[in-house]
Amino acid sequence: MVAGDAGVSVGRTRAYLGQCRVADVRRCRERFGGVTLQGLGGLKIARYLERAGDLDGVDLDPAVYRSRPAKVSNQLTLPGMDCAPFDWIMAQAELGLPVIRTAGTRIRAGRIDELKAELSQDYPVDVTVVLALDTGWLGRRHIDSLEEELRAADRDVSVLLAAPFNPVDSQRKIEALRRVLRWASDAGRTLELLRTDLTGLPAVFEGAAVAAIGFSTSTRHVGVPFAARQRDAFNRRRRSPLVFVPRLLHWQRANVLGNLAPWDGAGVTHCDCPVCTGSGRDLLRFDTPPEDSPVDEVREHDELALAGVIRQIMAAEDPAAELKFRRVNAVHRARSVASSLNVALDDPPAWLDSWE
Ligand SMILES: [Zn+2]
């Protein structure tokens, strides 16, 4: 953590990558200052980078999230060998990673025994305990016990939140998350938010040491199965790509942004990132028929625009105040588009206007 101007320690943001290639890791590390890789695929890449002497700024989320130890993948064992539980701690220690995370377990809301068990396990080296918590832990019924167990365990933790969609989708859950952040801050414990979205941004000003932010819906929280009806709606919508909108500080579907075309984007779709500036066009260009979607260009824009926004906020004299200023503007902009132009954008995520 680094000391901010206000004397409050400010955590760091980094990129969280799911399935990816070595080139993605190197590119995102340069853009975001650090990368967290996921699971066995991530481990393979980390091992490759280590052999190349190029592992700086890279760490791992084992991402097992199961109540039993994961079996070893065939790719990592010799044929015919027993499939002993894979030792994630040793694998990370051998790489010399600066932070070693436990394999983690997805813990359903209210399963206090499972939470206790995870938090009380001993390891041969210093670790941060991965907790993949169902979002219900942030609800009224369970937040007290969560806080109590964290306090009793007094360990460094890496928290991931599991839900079908955005796990921090209400004022109440934001307040609960902030209680957890306050615990870490008061206890002097390291708390990481892994596999998160931009909710991680205000969190690093309030006690999170790290926020590892994903660029796709599947790397912004731990997904859990959802109902068939939700699945249908989800699949219909996902045909149009999600695009990060710097002026709204969140993602919108390209076809939804397209509704702003009669007003030339109404000031919402402007972007200063190098790929947009280079193209001489704004985000409306991404509203295309699904088969023509410029996937690579959307990805380039997403990474560059998001990295740019984070960099500008962190470089401000008072980063927390800068973030708040941008949040207020983003919410105001979205509301005025909805009311004066009668264009319905997707609702902004709760953190934007409920993190007070
Ligand atoms: Zn852009």
Residue 178 to residue 187: CA distance in whole angstroms: 14
Task: Return the closest-CA partner of residue 200 out of 228, 220, 176.
Answer: 220
- Per the CB < 8 A criterion, the answer to whether 329 and 350 are in contact is no
Q: How far is the CA of 246 from the centre of ligand 1 (A)?
A: 8
> Residues 188, 58, 327, CA angle at the centre, nearest 5°?
60
**Ligand 1 centroid, distance to 302 Cα (angstroms):** 7
| Per-residue confidence (pLDDT) for residue 66, from 0 to 100 | 56
Instruction: Say yes or no: 205 and 250 in one domain.
Output: no
Which of 180, 196, 223 is the C-terminal boundary of a domain? 223
**C-alpha to C-alpha distances, 144 to 112, 166, 233, nearest whole angstrom:** 11, 22, 35
Which pLDDT belongs to residue 215? 85
Residue that terminates a domain, selected from 223, 255, 287: 223
- CA of 247 from ligand 1 middle (Å) equals 11
CA of 118 to the centre of ligand 1 (A): 42
Q: How far is the CA of 273 from the centre of ligand 1 (A)?
A: 4
Supply φ then ψ for residue 288, to 5 degrees.
-125, 165
- Tokens representing 272 are 């200063």
Distance from the alpha carbon of residue 30 to the mean position of ligand 1, in angstroms: 17
Write down the pLDDT at residue 155.
97
Q: 299 C-alpha to center of ligand 1: Å?
A: 9
pTM for this entry: 0.90
Q: How far apart are the first and last CA of the chain?
A: 23
d(CA 200, ligand 1 centre) in Å: 21
Q: Which residues surround ligand 1, an ion (CB under 5 A)?
A: 271, 273, 276, 301, 305
Rounded Cα distance, 299 and 280, in Å? 17
Residues with Cβ < 8 Å from 346, sequence gap 6 or more? 252, 253, 256
Q: Which domain holds residue 279?
A: 230-354
How far, in Å, from the CA of 252 to the mean position of ligand 1? 13
Do 165 and 255 fall within a single domain?
no
Pair (208, 162) in one structural domain: yes
pLDDT at 187: 96
Quick one: 190 and 321 in the same domain? no
Both 207 and 241 in one domain: the answer is no
Q: Could you list the pLDDT tens digit for every one of the 356 residues in the chain?
A: 554 444 457 999 999 999 999 999 999 999 999 999 999 999 999 999 999 999 999 999 998 765 444 444 444 444 444 445 689 999 999 999 999 999 988 999 999 999 999 999 999 999 999 999 999 999 999 999 999 999 999 999 999 999 988 899 999 999 999 999 999 999 999 999 999 999 999 999 999 999 999 988 788 888 877 666 666 666 665 678 999 999 999 999 999 999 999 999 999 999 999 999 999 999 999 999 988 889 999 999 999 999 999 999 999 999 999 999 999 999 999 999 988 998 889 889 999 999 98
Q: How far is the CA of 272 from the centre of ligand 1 (A)?
A: 6
Q: Is 2 exposed, middle or buried (0-12, 13-18, 19+ CB in 10 A)?
A: exposed
* 74 and 206 part of one domain: yes
**What CATH number does the domain containing 10 carry?**
3.20.20
- Identify whether residues 166 and 18 lie together within a single domain: yes
Q: Are residues 319 and 261 in the same domain?
A: yes
Are residues 218 and 239 part of one domain? no
Domain count, the chain: 2
pLDDT of residue 6: 45
What pLDDT, on a 0 to 100 scale, did the predictor assign at position 70? 44
245 and 206 in a single domain? The answer is no
Give the domain-ending residue among 223, 240, 267. 223
SS3 per residue for the chain: CEECCCCCEECEEEEEECCCCHHHHHHHHHHHCCEEEEHHHHHHHHHHHHHCCCCCCEEEECCCCCCCCCECCHHHCCCCCCCCECCHHHHHHHHCCCCCECCCEEECCCCHHHHHHHHHCCCCCCCEEEEEEEHHHHCCCCHHHHHHHHHHHCCCEEEEEEECCCCCCCHHHHHHHHHHHHHHHHHCCCEEEEEECCCHHHHHCCCEEEEEEECCHHHCCEECCCCHHHHHHHHHHCCCCEEEECCCCEEEEHHHHHHHHHHHHHHCCCCCCHHHHHHCCCHHHHCCCHHHCCHHHHHHHHHHHHHHHHHHHHHCCCHHHHHHHHHHHHHHHHHHHHHHCCCCCCCCCHHHHHCC
Q: Are both 234 and 218 inside the same structural domain?
A: no
Same domain, 77 and 109: yes
